[in-house]
Structure 1
Amino acid sequence: MMNSTITDTRANSVEMAEVPDMVLSVRGLTVNFTTPDGTVSAVKGIDLDVRAGETLAVVGESGSGKSQSMMGIMGLLAANGRVSGSARYRGRELIGASEAELNKVRGARISMIFQEPMTSLDPLYTIGRQIAEPIVYHRGCSFSAARKQVLELLELVGIPEPERRIDSYPHEMSGGQRQRVMIAMALANEPDLLIADEPTTALDVTIQAQILELLGSLQRRFGMAIVLITHDLGVVRHFAERVMVMRNGEVVEQGSRSDIFERPQADYTRMLLDAEPSGRKEAPSASAPVILEAKDVVVDFGRRRRFSSPKFNPILRAVDHISLQLRQGQTIGIVGESGSGKSTLGRALLRLVPSTGVYRFDDQDISNFDKAAMRPLRRRLQLVFQDPYGSLSPRLTVGEIITEGLRIHEPSLDKAERDRRAILALAEVGLDPTARNRYPHEFSGGQRQRLAIARAMIIKPSVVILDEPTSALDRSVQGQVIELLRTLQLTHGLSYVFISHDLSVIRAISDYVVVMKRGRIVEEGTTQAIFEKPCEPYTRTLIGAALNLKAVDDEADCTTR
């Protein structure tokens, strides 16, 4: 809980005509985007009300208009976006308000937790300074005076060693840690209304529960209203009071939590409720060749000396003497909490970060390969990044982004052939091929994730490291992507390293699971063994939290692992 050092600033905020109980009232909201292919209608005249102290969950598949409706209300649309209708906060109209008027509200009375923290955080400033910025702007204090509150906020959202982390830069933190920084920033001025756009997407199951508990406690303390945008119906079931279901920019159904989950009226709502990653991955033959092997991998990170500090900060060991073998056709799932070293290990396997150890790819020792020596192998070793927006160039069209690898690895292809392959790649990942002339910001978070997958798959690799590839996808699309990855794997004999905090996805796609904690492997084994008879308490905690179990069998026979 926040202590008395965090003061209530609402009395000093912009004066507004207060309407008792009603915090936000939206009528006939539309959002349109002008594109080279014509006008795209993202939101088509929706209505919604949010009352003080309640939580409204807005759910639907990627591209349904969930995020764009809130971005339109906040005046945060891209340059080619247009919003119309009415959105009244405490009686004050936001649609058409000037930037000066909106700036008095944004970050003070209404805050937003954005879906993609890496692109929302400035890479040139420490996370402490960025959290302090809204405090300084709205309260008129200095950055040094705000430091104590920033430390408190970092501790509240579960950032370890806040005294050290306050001076970290965004790239020095894991995806989950960056998400928690965004939450701390949004809560800095104790807003009247919090718009949380996928606030737990990048978080592992144990931290997810802590964050939701934190948001709930703050909501009760300050009477804060929350609009929760999410594709995770498990979160909605335990956190929201009312639910609004969207599809193709329209409201399909809305009602109380019990109405939506126990008595859904729309077929689309029932489809969402029934969607869950399913199936099991068969392990490859024991005689299948080892395509990628790593032995005794160590990755250390140190920070450069700052002008104000005479010494280097301590080295962080992100990966601590890890070994693994990946066979052709195999999928190794890597799980663990945020900051456990999962993503760093994935990059080390592709020789993308400095590390020590022995690496072999396709029976070739690549331990001492430099960038030039690795370049010919890049076509066969691909990575799907955790943050799709940060890895997609905003200056290139989707078609140009997807075919970029073809330009490097197949320079003889003409434009028509590249375009043909882009059409096929987009269709494979469930996107309209006509969208290849649009730009990344015109897509939802889930759609951008599929674009990242298409870019990796178009050049037909042998090994793909998938870093949280389904984290931004709703359950129905997760199932489609998992099925797509299985099909591609069977067709082309692909091998995957699948990094995720979502254990239901790991269970559906992996045949072998590695559990990491603080840079080390704490347990590994077949998917069936890990999920049905985990040996380590840490593994049992993860699985229990993910599957909502009270207990996991303690009597596992671990002698063979």
Structure 2
Amino acid sequence: MTDPVLEIDNLRVRFDTPDGTVDAVRGVSLTVAPGETVAVVGESGSGKSQVMMAAMGLLAANGKASGSVRYRGEEILNLPPDRLNRIRGRKITMIFQEPMTSLDPLYTIEDQLAEPLRVHGGLSPRAARARALELLDLVQIPDPARRLRAYPHELSGGQRQRVMIAMALANDPDLLIADEPTTALDVTIQAEILRLLAELQARLGMSILFITHDLGIVRAFADRVYVMRAGLVEEQGPTRRIFEAPEKPYTRMLLDAEPEGEKPPVAADAPVLLQGAGLRVTFGKPPGFLRRDTRFTAVKGIDLTLRQGQTIGVVGESGSGKSTLGRALLQLLPAEGRVVYLGQEIAGLDRAAMRPHRKGLQMVFQDPYGSLSPRMTVTEIITEGLLVHEPGLSRRDRAERAAQALTDVGLDASMRNRFPHEFSGGQRQRIAIARAVVLRPRVIVLDEPTSALDRSVQKQVIDLLRRLQAEHALSYIFISHDLAVVRAMADYVMVMKDGAVVEQGPTRAIFEAPGAEYTRALMRAAFDLGDLLTG
């Protein structure tokens, strides 16, 4: 029998917190064979990501790991960094769940791709640049030569994730650990990236350890599956057996969890809360002395009307301009055109003039870890907005509001004194939602709010957002690449491509009879990923 590439035996991970010790992983064992793809699935907080963080020596300072992690028979758990770095980043690489926090905002994409090539591969600056360009092309980033000079904030979430994949593949690793590598990607790009990984795996004999909540990807991509729950392996086996004959009720629950229901449209005469007219967003600089034209139009003259109680779903591929549109509506970046909130023109207002409107216009960002301060507790994060917008509240009142907001999003109020790194990606996303709803806004722009969540938690969050909307007459702009979630959440859909709206209308009409070929392609991709991977 071929020796495993990776063996994890009785791994335990615990964190010391102000509320006591948290046992995140409680005796997990797994193996990965050469050339094999192994998936680790489970709900948010099940411990699946912490298993890999421990194996890679990347636990937070208050985390401790025990047990055994062996690479090609060599014990690597708790190795000193200088010894671990001979393997980490070269033989074993990792794609992280949240690319914005993994990419340095002060360095260009070229600088960050070149670093592992020069440190681990010994390439010259010129050779490293050529290889970086090749890698960007490999992961299907458009206009790769121009993107090399870009900074992380100039890329969409999906493009940043592809940069992370390129970095991980730079030195042709022996084992690739992929922690939710396609979370931020639309389904068509998911299929391209997964096909790419499969091709590289076949060519290099690379093993892949795939951590995900997306069971559709697991079924199409993995050879074996480990199902985790509350820090333990609940069930394991070949992928086909897990999907066709699961033994545990928990596994069956995960397989059956899909967004359900349909949102009825709002009345045609419902009050208009937010309008955008001719919105246009351009990045870059015009040509000048010794400077070429770097301008790029991300949003191209879009009109939008959001009514009270309405949910507008905005869908499209990575880089289509969805997130940029949401930020432009909330005046979080410069834009041309008109934006009217509650009958008042807010386009072009400076920071001070916008402050009175911020309480009513909230946003939940795509990357929760990047938008949560690592030095603040959950209570401090949630109540920060209350300090600004409701300064008359006492400290006790703020704490009570924070505890209620946590309860509303399905988290235990006893977690309020923990820090963001002590939560899973899905839990962090719920904290970000709590931070927005604690202010009781009128409009919330939700930028991929469920992309980091497994299906069972997605259902909980969808139910939560629906309940909050019904109780407080909230209006949502729901930005997502997950069409199943959009179908369950939105009563109106706008389909974007290359910065423009190619089709829009009531949700049922768009899903049952899409008029644009691009929309039809998105629908096929969303609901038939297996065929895309083999096609």
Indicate the TM-score class for this superposition, using the shorter chain for normalisation. over 0.9
Which residue in the other structure is 1:147 paired with? Answer: 129
Q: Could you tell me how far apart the structure 2 residues matched to 1:230 and 1:317 are?
A: 33
SS in 2 for 1:298: strand
Deviations along 1:323-347, one digit per CA (max 9) or x if unpaired, are 0100000000000111111001001
Q: Could you tell me how far apart the structure 1 residues matched to 2:292 and 2:377 are?
A: 42
Which residue in the other structure is 2:207 paired with? Answer: 225
- CA shift, 1:549, in A, is 8.6
RMSD: 1.5
- Asked if 1:74 corresponds to 2:56, the answer is yes
- CA shift, 1:550, in A, is 11
Q: 1:463 aligns with which of 440, 443, 465?
A: 443
Letter in 2 for 1:81: G
Which residue in the other structure is 1:343 paired with? Answer: 323
Which residue in the other structure is 1:189 paired with? Answer: 171
Which residue in the other structure is 1:499 paired with? Answer: 479
Q: Could you tell me how far apart the structure 1 residues matched to 2:237 and 2:510 are?
A: 39
Q: Could you tell me how far apart the structure 2 residues matched to 1:214 and 1:494 are?
A: 41
Which residue in the other structure is 2:380 paired with? Answer: 400
Q: 1:260 aligns with which of 237, 242, 255?
A: 242
Q: Could you tell me how far apart the structure 2 residues matched to 1:21 and 1:182 are?
A: 29
Q: Could you tell me how far apart the structure 2 residues matched to 1:479 and 1:395 are?
A: 30
Greater Cα shift, 451-460 or 354-363: 354-363
Higher relative contact order (CA closer than 8 Å, sequence separation 6+): 2
Q: Could you tell me how far apart the structure 2 residues matched to 1:42 and 1:247 are?
A: 10
Taking a change above 3 Å as real, the CA distance of residues 522 and 80 of structure 1, as seen in their structure-2 partners, is same
Q: Could you tell me how far apart the structure 2 residues matched to 1:388 and 1:296 are?
A: 30
Which residue in the other structure is 2:102 paired with? Answer: 120
SS in 2 for 1:403: helix
Within 5 A, what are the aligned runs for 1:15-414? Answer: 20-303=2-285, 310-414=290-394
Please tell me whether the aligned partners of residues 187 and 529 of structure 2 are also in contact (alpha carbons under 8 angstroms): no
Please tell me whether the aligned partners of residues 108 and 148 of structure 2 are also in contact (alpha carbons under 8 angstroms): yes
Q: Which runs of 4+ in 1 moved over 4 A?
A: 303-306
Please tell me whether the aligned partners of residues 331 and 348 of structure 2 are also in contact (alpha carbons under 8 angstroms): no
Taking a change above 3 Å as real, the CA distance of residues 441 and 550 of structure 1, as seen in their structure-2 partners, is closer
Q: Could you tell me how far apart the structure 2 residues matched to 1:217 and 1:341 are?
A: 30
Q: Could you tell me how far apart the structure 1 residues matched to 2:367 and 2:484 are?
A: 20
Letter in 2 for 1:180: R
Q: Could you tell me how far apart the structure 1 residues matched to 2:121 and 2:184 are?
A: 30
Deviations along 1:50-73, one digit per CA (max 9) or x if unpaired, are 100001100000010000000001
- CA shift, 1:90, in A, is 0.3
Deviations along 1:221-263, one digit per CA (max 9) or x if unpaired, are 1111100000000000000010000011000000000111011
Taking a change above 3 Å as real, the CA distance of residues 379 and 268 of structure 1, as seen in their structure-2 partners, is same
- CA shift, 1:202, in A, is 0.2
Q: 2:465 aligns with which of 485, 503, 509?
A: 485
Q: 1:453 aligns with which of 418, 433, 444?
A: 433
Q: Could you tell me how far apart the structure 2 residues matched to 1:175 and 1:313 are?
A: 24
Deviations along 1:486-538, one digit per CA (max 9) or x if unpaired, are 00000000000000000000000000000001110000001011111001110
Please tell me whether the aligned partners of residues 129 and 143 of structure 1 are also in contact (alpha carbons under 8 angstroms): no
SS in 1 for 2:150: coil
Gap runs ≥5 in structure 1: 1-18, 552-561
- The number of equivalent residue pairs is 531
Please tell me whether the aligned partners of residues 11 and 68 of structure 2 are also in contact (alpha carbons under 8 angstroms): yes
- CA shift, 1:129, in A, is 1.4
- CA shift, 1:310, in A, is 2.1
| TM-score (norm: length of structure 2) | 0.97
- CA shift, 1:304, in A, is 9.0
Deviations along 1:279-304, one digit per CA (max 9) or x if unpaired, are 00111111101111111111111159
- Asked if 1:434 corresponds to 2:414, the answer is yes
Which residue in the other structure is 1:515 paired with? Answer: 495
Please tell me whether the aligned partners of residues 110 and 195 of structure 1 are also in contact (alpha carbons under 8 angstroms): yes
Q: Could you tell me how far apart the structure 2 residues matched to 1:465 and 1:88 are?
A: 45
- CA shift, 1:314, in A, is 2.0
Gap runs ≥5 in structure 2: none
Deviations along 1:391-441, one digit per CA (max 9) or x if unpaired, are 000111000000111111111111111111111100110111111100001
- CA shift, 1:95, in A, is 1.1
Within 5 A, what are the aligned runs for 1:533-544? Answer: 533-544=513-524
Letter in 1 for 2:147: R
SS in 1 for 2:149: coil
- CA shift, 1:210, in A, is 0.1
Q: Could you tell me how far apart the structure 2 residues matched to 1:170 and 1:143 are?
A: 21
